């Protein structure tokens, strides 16, 4: 058993002060990998990792009492989603279901009802990868122990990245919610004792490069306050979240697609949002492919060109039955199917994923 201290933060300044204090000690004694603090909200991923000794920390700071659980539809049509709002509350909120059906559908495609009732919006952003090698302490893993290697590159890679990977890591980000947030161009508001800052969603998660142990650009002493989404009601009528997985429930995506279209009076595409999950170390949004769709009719040939653009540079990993080469044609077909479905109109949200 690894001992740790536990405290319940009375308010945000108290939580930030504890994070800052522990972060300062970690900097002064970086030989101790457990000299850090972790924030405890839903705990659906963090506590699992602690139980199997993949995460060690000096202190758990319980922030469930902080007033960060509001779900707000703003007067301008935008949204502010509190970091401590539960995933289920967010997905089923009437304003979210009406104005952000893409986000609602993505959340409901993930995990199980019990987990969605506990998991928070902020915690969803901070999920660790579900890579088999990361969870197996007997195998090397650069994400778990930097510099030890990445056996997934030539091993069992069915779940792993085809885009944006590096020689150091081929793991993928597991969140469904984050794929929709990437497509929607969300902004993450974070705060520390130094003040607040906004992080564009595209910059919040990192590609592995040579530091795969760093999943995000969040500093150790920062707290997520909320997720902001600009007014995007023009996409609400033509959006879909498509998730392809090995079983229908409680499974992570092999490939997922968040697609939304803004169709003009003439039927042509005035704007497009397109992001993929299950294919990279972060949710993969391709602004270039979105630009290819603008001004075009919503036709299969147009969608196929966009899919080819998204998958330029895709690289399969693994060998034989462990290879993820199948993901490339799967992703290509999934993009086309998602765009075709979005063009026909948003499917009413029943809590069941399209796939």
pTM across the whole model: 0.95
For every one of its 355 residues, what pLDDT tens digit does the chain have, with 9 covering 90 and above? 678 999 999 999 999 999 998 877 655 545 455 567 999 999 999 999 999 999 988 899 999 999 999 999 999 999 999 999 999 999 999 999 999 999 999 999 999 999 999 999 999 999 999 999 999 999 999 999 999 999 999 899 999 999 999 999 999 999 999 999 999 999 999 999 999 999 999 999 999 999 999 999 999 999 999 999 999 999 999 999 999 999 888 899 999 999 999 999 999 999 999 999 999 999 999 999 999 999 999 999 999 999 999 999 999 999 899 999 999 999 999 999 999 999 999 976 655 555 5
Classify domain 68-355 at the CATH topology level.
Answer: 3.30.465
Q: Where are the domains of the chain?
A: 1-66, 68-355
Distance CA 158, CA 291 (A): 30
- 175 token code pair: 């969140």
8 A C-beta contact, residue 145 and residue 225: no
Kindly report the CATH number that applies to the domain delimited by 1-66.
Answer: 3.30.43.10
Q: Transcribe 140-175 into DSSP letters.
A: --TTTSTTS--GGGTS--TTS-SSS-BTTB------
> Which residue bears the tokens 């499917």?
347
């Amino acid at each position: 058993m690894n001992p740790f201290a536990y405290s319940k933060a009375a308010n945000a300044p108290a939580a930030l002060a504890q994070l800052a204090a522990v972060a300062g000690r970690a900097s002064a004694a970086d030989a101790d990998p457990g000299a850090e603090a972790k924030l405890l909200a839903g705990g659906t991923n963090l506590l699992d990792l602690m139980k199997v000794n993949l995460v060690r920390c000096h202190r758990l700071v319980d922030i469930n009492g902080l007033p960060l659980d509001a779900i707000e539809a703003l007067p301008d049509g935008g949204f502010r989603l509190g970091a401590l709002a539960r995933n289920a509350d967010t997905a089923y909120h009437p304003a979210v279901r009406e104005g952000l059906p893409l986000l609602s559908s993505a959340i409901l495609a993930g995990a199980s009802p019990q987990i969605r009732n506990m998991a928070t919006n902020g915690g969803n952003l901070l999920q660790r990868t579900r890579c088999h090698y990361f969870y197996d302490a007997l195998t090397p893993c650069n994400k778990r122990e930097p510099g030890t290697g990445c056996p997934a590159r030539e091993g069992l890679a069915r779940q792993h990245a085809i885009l944006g990977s590096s020689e150091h890591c081929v793991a993928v980000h597991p969140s469904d919610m984050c794929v929709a947030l990437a497509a929607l161009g969300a902004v993450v508001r974070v705060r520390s004792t130094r003040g607040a800052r906004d992080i564009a969603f595209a910059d919040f998660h990192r590609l592995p490069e040579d530091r795969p142990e760093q999943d995000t650009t969040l500093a150790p002493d920062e707290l997520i306050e909320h997720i902001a989404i600009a007014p995007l009601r023009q996409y609400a009528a033509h959006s879909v979240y498509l998730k392809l997985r090995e079983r229908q429930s409680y499974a992570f995506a092999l490939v997922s697609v968040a697609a939304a279209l803004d169709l003009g009076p003439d039927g042509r595409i005035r704007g497009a949002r397109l992001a993929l999950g299950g294919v990279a170390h972060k949710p993969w949004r391709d602004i270039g492919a979105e630009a290819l769709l603008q001004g075009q009719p919503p036709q299969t040939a147009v969608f196929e060109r966009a899919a080819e653009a998204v998958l330029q540079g895709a690289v399969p990993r693994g060998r034989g039955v462990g290879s993820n080469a199948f993901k490339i044609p799967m992703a290509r077909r999934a993009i086309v199917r998602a765009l075709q479905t979005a063009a026909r109109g948003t499917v009413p949200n029943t809590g069941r994923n399209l796939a």
